[in-house]
Amino acid sequence: MDTTTQQETERVVFVTEDGVPTGETGPKLASHHEHTPLHLAFSCYVLRHADQALLVTQRALSKKVWPGVWTNSVCGHPAPGEPLEDAVRRRAEYELGLPSLSGLQCVLPSYRYRTPPFQGIVENEFCPVFVAWTDRDPEPNPAEVGGWRWVTWSDYAGLLQDPEADMSYWAKDQFNQLRVVSPFSSFEIENSTA
């Protein structure tokens, strides 16, 4: 199934303000617009065991939503009835070629955000944030990922403040909450006003 067909057939789960599924779903691409209903999503930050470097990725230029934007390791939407942890693992394997993440844990269970419009797209998501570890480099799906690199937490903080870095809205928005929870609270940020 090509990426366009997959986006047209994937469904997002609509939720209440507390993240509880309403029982309703909508097509993924058609559900992201000026009046986007609140729906369930996730973000995941993948760290490398050896040095705790963070994997950042660039969304493929061919993607209809936020093309070319740099962001945290992997984001996505669970399918109806799919546990969030399973959705994280599924998307990490599909997007990053990383089938065996270890230590997957939710670090921001109630994170929620709404983006300003970006090329007609608005994100309105109840989006628990996860962290996981790996020992290997990604082998990304080019339909999903246009680029990737490992960065220190300090370098990541710098990228989020750099307007030329083209970092995602949600990565910037999550940072202040992430930096005070484990494991991120133990990472040093050098020469930063973040």
The fourth-level CATH superfamily of domain 3-177 is Nucleoside Triphosphate Pyrophosphohydrolase (3.90.79.10)
Query: For the chain, what is the largest distance between any 2 Cα atoms, rounded to a whole number of angstroms?
Result: 47
Q: Which residue has the tokens 């270890």?
A: 102
Is 125 one of the catalytic residues?
yes
Q: The pTM is what? A: 0.91
Is 39 labeled as ligand-binding? Answer: yes
Given 44, 85, 125, 127, the catalytic residue: 125
Query: Between the CA of residue 193 and those of 55, 82, 156, 158, 161, what are the distances in Å?
Result: 22, 39, 13, 9, 9
Q: What is the pLDDT along the chain (194 residues), one digit of tens a residue?
A: 344 444 446 899 999 999 999 999 999 877 777 788 999 999 999 999 999 999 999 999 998 888 999 999 999 999 999 999 999 999 999 999 999 999 999 999 999 999 988 877 889 999 999 999 999 999 999 999 999 999 999 999 999 999 999 999 999 999 999 999 999 999 987 754 44
As a whole number of angstroms, the distance between CA 86 and CA 165 comes to: 31
**Given 75, 85, 127, 144, which residue is catalytic?**
75
The response to whether 33 counts as a known ligand-binding position is no
Consult the annotation and say whether 10 binds a ligand: no
Give me the residue spans of the domains in the chain: 3-177
32 is in an annotated binding site: yes
